Amino acid sequence: MKKSLVSFLFSSICLLGFAQAKFPPLKLNNALVVSHLDKESDQFSLEIAVSDVLSRSKVKNTVSLNVLKAGGDPQVLMTDSLTQLLKTKGINTLMLVSVRGFDNRFRPSTGNMTLAEDLAADNLFPIYKEDIVSVTFEFHFYRDGKLVYADLLKIGGAGSRDKVLRKFRKKLAKRLEKSWM
């Protein structure tokens, strides 16, 4: 009885480990930063914060605000002409940043979303919301239109929009060095 219980638990744990989506190491050295938010001020703030952290870590990057017109359709990022233009600048990774939600524990995406679906998805959340304790940001990294890596970054103690962005920069720098490079 004990043997069968132990073997059942062992096999369950092994299957659970295989069932979760695992991405290979990212090895990030360039990125087009795209913030997937509704408010233009939030888009600007988030893209600049991410770009600043990437630049300090010597990761070549540009922000979508330099590529897209204000209020433009993000689907343009998938066109061949824009992809070729970015490749000539040495950028082959699209980094999509969005707010996943507030005050809950979330799991990263499993990798079954295409770039077109991800760009078309609505984002319902701003960077900061009154009476919240934490905000979780989600990062999707695409190369050649395929999701190659997904990650979450939870920011606690969100007392104001500026505090969220300040903590975001600090935690993002650590995550970049630890997991993405």
Task: Evaluate whether residue 21 is within a structural domain.
Answer: no
End-to-end CA distance of the chain: 47
pTM, to two decimals: 0.82
Question: CATH number of the domain that 137 lies in?
Answer: 3.40.50
Task: Evaluate whether residue 136 is within a structural domain.
Answer: yes
Task: Examine the pLDDT at 19 and tell me if it is beyond 50.
Answer: no
Task: Evaluate whether residue 15 is within a structural domain.
Answer: no
Task: Evaluate whether residue 11 is within a structural domain.
Answer: no
Task: Evaluate whether residue 38 is within a structural domain.
Answer: yes
**Residues 96 and 75 sit within 8 Å (Cβ to Cβ):** no
Residue 170 tokens, joined: 């600090």
Contacts of 94 (CB under 8 A, 6+ apart): 31, 32, 34, 77, 115, 141, 142, 143
Task: Evaluate whether residue 147 is within a structural domain.
Answer: yes
Q: What is the pLDDT of residues 62-117, one digit of tens each?
A: 998 877 766 566 776 777 778 888 889 999 999 999 999 888 888 877 767 888 88
Number of domains into which the chain is organized: 1
Residue 73 tokens, joined: 């359709």
**Residues 35 and 47 sit within 8 Å (Cβ to Cβ):** yes
Task: Evaluate whether residue 85 is within a structural domain.
Answer: yes
Task: Evaluate whether residue 76 is within a structural domain.
Answer: yes
Domain that holds residue 133: 28-180
Task: Examine the pLDDT at 181 and tell me if it is beyond 90.
Answer: no
